[in-house]
Amino acid sequence: MNNSYARFCNIIFYYLSVIVCLIGIYGDPDMRKPTKTILFVFFILLGFLPGFLLDSNILDMHKYKRFYLFTYCLASLCMYFTWNSITLFIGMLFLESMLCLVYLDPEFLLFQNFFCIILLTFLFFYERVNDRVTLDEVQFLIIFFMFLGANYIGRQVVKLVLHERFKSMEQERSLDDMLRVVETKVDEARNAVKAKSEFLSNMSHEIRTPINAVLGMNEMIQRESDNEQISEYSRNIASSGSMLLALINDILDLSKIESGKVAIIRVEYQLSTVCNDLMNMIKDRAGKKNLGLKLKINPQIPNYLYGDEVRIRQIVLNLLTNAVKYTETGTITVNVDFVNRSKSQIDLKISVKDTGRGIKKTDINKLFTSFQRLEEAHNKNIEGTGLGLAIVGGYVKLMHGKIDVISDYGKGSEFIVTIPQKVVKHDEIGEFDFKFNKPSAKTNSYKPTFKAPRAKILAVDDNNMNLIVVKNLLKATDIRIDFAHSGQECLDKVRNEFYDVILLDHMMPEMDGTECLRILKDQKLINKTPVIALTANALSGAKEEYVRLGFDDYISKPIVPLELENMLKHWLPGWLIDVTQ
């Protein structure tokens, strides 16, 4: 519909009907003045209100066309009663019918014809009831069929004249219908992704809680057992627990990427430290398969960079882990190079090359698909879920980088990651050779990093096993620990006792950690006592979120013993700490 043309025609109709009605009112000598005044106000509203609504486009013509049709018919009836002329009424109906053709809406036009015919028939019988016969039956039928014929002919003429416009309108309507269907499907897909992400996050949280107990208790076995066989069992538990935790982390990472909840957190870092740590993280796996491990770094690359160090480590570690998995003999080679983009920015290029099984060219496009492994039957003895490369691809994209794959099936593969990084200092890395970290001589040679027998902390968790883990992990530090199993119990204990640090679980029934913290602060139960969130929530940016909620720091489950000790050493008053090493 040509909205501007239709609006103009309809405004003219309303204004014309008002003028005709007013002339009829003031031309009637038998009508009283108060009646004329009332009718004058009524007709002004009848004509000028719809006209104003059309002119200002307050009510959309296409959406409210039945309302406008009702006002058409009402205006026609008013003309009949003010002029006592069915001829004028029929003329206005014809004019109204022609104006309605601009809608080019078959359903609406059918409704309009039906409505007008009923109105015409009503007036025909109304005149006979009131002994005012303007038309006999033959004249009525002639006008009746003329009305139908004129409407049909007018509709065909308009369609012919505005054929292209009619076609485009039909296409627009079809497109609108398609868009509505697509929007519905998109909303359904978004809701499904959101539900899946929430489910995976919740499952990750629930699974991390028992893993915390398993790994925490196993840590105590490693610390306290002098039996070599038991220590060997314990090491196997630790290894399997770490694998299970890595799998959960992969699922959670993928969920975060798909839901758009990943925050790229850029910091200053040293490339040499990242390379050294990555090689040390993979050396044991490579050593178990007697694989060679080489690191080649361009000596001119800047050592001090600015970017998401954590994600870069994760990307390269996933590529190294895959290389070791799919390589039986030979060498894993890591190449670190760069391309200058400007004085303050480089493209960091890290490639991981192996001498493994290689990838078929037809399968390369499937590499970064979630939950899909290539050549399932051939690789059924390889551990993993197929999430690693999907996570790599997601993180590389988030950092505006790219990843290329070069592979010779049966001979090996090379994954090349290019990520833009800012240069903090132009100090070159120089001739670099990574240093292997030496493992401890004994697995049970644990010593606490500090002791604080005068310190007192409160650990709050609804899971009793988690409290036992905290107690045992801190046993060697001599810290005095009180326990609370709920938010309310935490409030009761803090009212009666001073604590140097509070470890507060987030997800608790009835009163969760954030609500408990709010009450602690609102009631001024804590002054400068640091409150650390102890939670299985391992989402990216979780620390920043907990700090925003009022916590002083954050530690995730499963608890890493050294991280817990270092955190307490940081937050406990210095005069309470006796450093042991």
Whether pLDDT at 459 is above 60: yes
Residue 214 clears pLDDT 80, i.e. is over it: yes
pLDDT at 380: 47
Q: Is the pLDDT of residue 14 over 70?
A: no
Which pLDDT value is given to residue 441? 44
Domain 450-579 fold: Rossmann fold (3.40.50)
Average pLDDT over residues 86-112: 64
Give dist(CA 127, CA 41) in Å, integer.
27
Contacts 24+ apart (CB under 8 A), 4-7: 5/102, 6/61, 6/99, 6/102, 6/103, 7/54, 7/55, 7/57, 7/61
Report long-range pairs for 215-218 (Cβ below 8 Å, ≥24 apart). Answer: 215/241, 215/245, 215/558, 216/466, 216/468, 216/469, 216/470, 216/472, 216/473, 216/558, 216/559, 217/468, 217/469, 217/472
Q: What per-residue confidence (pLDDT) applies to 128? A: 75
Average pLDDT over residues 211-219: 83
The residue assigned the tokens 């406008």 is: 68
Q: Which of 314, 349, 317 is nearest to 332 (CA)?
A: 317
Mean pLDDT, to the nearest integer, of 330-341?
A: 92
- pLDDT greater at residue 381 or residue 476: 476
The CATH number given to 267-428 is: 3.30.565.10
Name the segment(s) of the chain with CATH classification 1.10.287.130: 176-259
Q: Is the pLDDT confidence value at 419 over 90?
A: yes
Rounded CA-CA distance 25/12 in Å is: 20
**Listed residue (28, 37, 138, 146) closest to 85, CA to CA:** 28
The CATH class that applies to domain 176-259 reads: mainly alpha
Q: Span 446-457, mean pLDDT?
A: 90
**pLDDT over 60 (residue 540):** no
Pairing of strands 531-535, 501-505: parallel
Specify whether the CB–CB gap between 269 and 302 falls below 8 A: no
* Residues linked to residue 422 through DSSP beta bridges, in sequence order: 306, 345
Contact assessment for residue 114 and residue 64, using Cβ atoms and an 8 Å cutoff: no
Q: What residues contact residue 565 under an 8 Å CB cut-off, 6+ apart?
A: 448, 449, 450, 474, 477
For residue 24, is pLDDT > 80? Answer: no
Strand partners for 414: 353, 406
pLDDT exceeds cutoff 70 at 9: no
Residue in this structure with the two tokens 């007008």, named with its chain if needed: 116
Cross-strand bridge partners of residue 481:
457
488 has pLDDT over 80: yes
State the DSSP code for 358.
Answer: -
Q: Which three-class secondary structure state does DSSP give residue 546?
A: helix
Residue 552's pLDDT band (boundaries 50, 70, 90)?
Answer: very high
Least confident of 106-115, 158-167, 221-230, 248-257: 158-167
| Residue 574 DSSP one-character state | G
| Range among 227-241, 344-358, 364-378 with highest mean pLDDT value | 344-358
For residue 453, what pLDDT is reported?
Answer: 92
What residue ranges of the chain are covered by domains with CATH 3.40.50.2300? Answer: 450-579
pLDDT at 55 over 80: no
pLDDT band, very low/low/confident/very high, at 510 (cuts 50, 70, 90): confident
Mean pLDDT, to the nearest integer, of 162-184?
70
Name the least confident of 161-165, 517-521, 575-579.
161-165
* Higher pLDDT, residue 284 or 84: 284
| 212 — pLDDT class (breaks 50, 70, 90) | confident
Q: Look at residue 528 in the predicted model and tell me its pLDDT.
A: 84
Q: Which range has the top average pLDDT, 16-25, 193-202, 239-248, 420-429?
A: 420-429
pLDDT at 416 over 70: yes
Whether the per-residue pLDDT at 458 is higher than 80: the answer is yes
Instruction: Name the residue with higher pLDDT: 379 or 48.
Output: 48
pLDDT for res 443: 47
What share of the chain has pLDDT > 70, as a percent?
Answer: 68
At residue 518, does pLDDT exceed 90? yes
The whole-number average pLDDT for the span 282-294 is: 88
Q: Which of the pair, 210 or 172, is modelled with greater confidence?
A: 210
pLDDT greater than 90 at residue 334 = yes
CA dihedral 347→348→354→357, nearest 10 degrees, is -50
Q: What is the pLDDT of residue 447?
A: 84
Q: Please indicate whether residue 258 or residue 436 has the higher confidence score (pLDDT).
A: 258
Q: Which residue has the higher pLDDT, 491 or 121?
A: 491
pLDDT of 440 reads 45
Per-residue DSSP letter, 362: G
